[in-house]
């Protein structure tokens, strides 16, 4: 059963996020020159985000440590005909420890996050899916997005 993360979970949240980047691989997500200082920065961001009302971090305990986590955020974008209030949700960092996979933890976290997005009147929820997780998200009603995504790294 998912629960809301606390400050005591931060070291495990950092560990799980590092696992996510290991799974994604490649130079974009895991550059050779990254070092480990990003983990300290991430811990500080988790500490701040845990206190923000537009962020929800759900976890599943794995004893010892966490089995899984998922992060939901809501941003205020500009409303339009396709977005009546401009409240756009994002699911970030869904990850399950390899020793706890295939037990429904990801689905349970996603259902909790989707309820949270509904309660906060998000008009859309975006996420980036791995090939392995895409069937789960599609089974929960996620579909392809019409906007092509580009990025720029300074």
pLDDT tens readout for residues 88-105: 999 998 999 999 999 999
Greater confidence, 153 or 46? 46
135 inside domain:
yes
Please confirm whether the linkage preceding 64 is cis (ω < 30° from 0): yes
151 inside domain:
no
Q: Which helix (H) or strand (E) holds 106?
A: helix 105-119
Predicted confidence (pLDDT) at residue 53 exceeds the cutoff of 90: yes
Predicted confidence (pLDDT) at residue 31 exceeds the cutoff of 60: no
Q: What residues does 92 pair with on adjacent strands? A: 71
The domain of 117 spans 3-139
Q: Would you state the pLDDT for residue 148? A: 80
**Residue 58 belongs to domain with CATH number:** 3.40.630.30
150 inside domain:
no
Render pLDDT for 139-151 as a digit per residue (tens, 0 to 9).
Answer: 999 999 888 878 7
133 inside domain:
yes
Q: Which helix (H) or strand (E) holds 88?
A: strand 87-96
Could you give the number of structural domains in the chain? 1
Q: Would you state the pLDDT for residue 151? A: 77
% of the chain with per-residue pLDDT over 90: 72
109 inside domain:
yes
Instruction: Confirm if 87 and 122 have CB atoms less than 8 A apart.
Output: yes
Q: Would you state the pLDDT for residue 62? A: 95
Q: Would you state the pLDDT for residue 24? A: 65
pTM equals: 0.90
Q: Would you state the pLDDT for residue 48? A: 97
């Amino acid at each position: 059963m998912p629960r809301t993360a606390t400050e005591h979970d931060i070291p495990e949240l950092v560990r799980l996020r590092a696992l996510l980047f290991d799974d994604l691989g490649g130079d974009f997500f895991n550059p050779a020159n990254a070092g480990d200082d990003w983990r300290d920065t991430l811990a500080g961001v988790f500490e701040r985000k845990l206190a923000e009302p537009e962020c929800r971090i759900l976890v599943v305990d794995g004893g010892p440590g966490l089995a899984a986590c998922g992060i939901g955020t809501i941003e205020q974008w500009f409303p339009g005909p396709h977005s009546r209030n401009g409240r756009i949700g994002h699911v970030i960092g869904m990850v399950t420890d390899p020793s706890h996979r295939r037990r429904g933890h990801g689905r349970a976290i996603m259902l909790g996050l989707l309820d949270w997005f509904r309660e906060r009147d998000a008009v859309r929820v975006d996420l980036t899916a791995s090939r392995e997780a895409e069937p789960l998200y599609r089974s929960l009603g996620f579909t392809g997005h019409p906007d092509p995504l580009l990025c720029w790294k300074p």
